[in-house]
Amino acid sequence: MRRLANDIHKLFNMAIVAILLLIISIINSYPKAIYVSIDTNQAVFSKGTKKQKVIALSFDDGPHPKYTIEILDILKEYDIKATFFVLGMHAEKYPEIIKRQVEEGHEIGNHSYSHINMRKATKKQIREEFEKTQEIIYSIAKIRPKVFRPPYGNYNRDVIEIISSDDIPIVLWTFYQDSKDWSNPGVDSIVNTTLSKVQNGDIILFHDYVYKNESHTVEALKIIIPELLNKGYKFVTISELLNISRDI
């Protein structure tokens, strides 16, 4: 009986250790900066001020020839502005969409040229991906992005050093505002993730480019936007959110 009790005790301890290791692994799987509080003097941020009822919608990986246009139509219907973190390679293919985004008052952010993992890239690759996209956007719309979001949210000291040298902040997203919409998890899932924990100053992550035959994001926005407006939220661009947070 004593031996059986010892074996059970050992198994219990092993289970506890396994659970703790799993929790640590999950925590470490998130980009570290998504837990950084807003500080406009820092190079990386993921949330704005909690003192005003403002939120920022952001869209990654576009432009897409169909879904980005549908999203722009929805934003125009409700007269709200968002920030689009575009890939240089997609901007080259669809310059007219970039022009429309700028003309309608949205902010264009740099999301690299080809969506590389910058944590594994050389300094030369990081600089080339960043600068090439800056120049592509300028050639199309005569503006240079003032915010940058690294693909996958992955960055390191090299990324901070290179991007910050141009006085451009690295912008991630509020950690609970990632619905994984790129995977088309279902409209209800996207809506629930976005609305269930929304707070002042949130930066909400969406994707306007998905490699699917349909975009659940588009349909989810038709529910999310009017609901947030009914709750009294004001939609701002990332740069506007930074400025509001700096002035308070």
Q: What contacts 24+ positions apart, CB below 8 Å, involve 98-101?
A: 98/63, 98/137, 98/140, 98/141, 99/140, 99/141, 100/69, 100/72, 101/63, 101/68, 101/72, 101/141
- State the DSSP code for 223: H
Q: What is the pLDDT of residue 43?
A: 80
What is the spatial distance between Cα 56 and Cα 235, in angstroms, rounded to a whole number?
6
Give the residue numbers marked as catalytic.
60, 207
Model confidence pLDDT, tens digit, residues 101-123: 999 999 999 999 999 999 999 99
Task: Assess whether pLDDT exceeds 80 at residue 18.
Answer: no
216, 222 Cβ separation under 8 angstroms: no
- What are the backbone dihedrals phi and psi of residue 59, each rounded to the nearest 5 degrees, phi first? -130, 130
Mean pLDDT of the chain: 88
55: helix, strand or coil: strand
Question: Is a pLDDT exceeding 80 seen at residue 1?
Answer: no
pLDDT tens for 155-181 read 999 999 999 988 999 999 999 999 999
pLDDT higher than 70, residue 227: yes
Q: What is the pLDDT of residues 181-193, one digit of tens each?
A: 999 999 999 999 9
**pLDDT value at residue 247:** 73
> Percent of the chain scored above 70 by pLDDT?
83
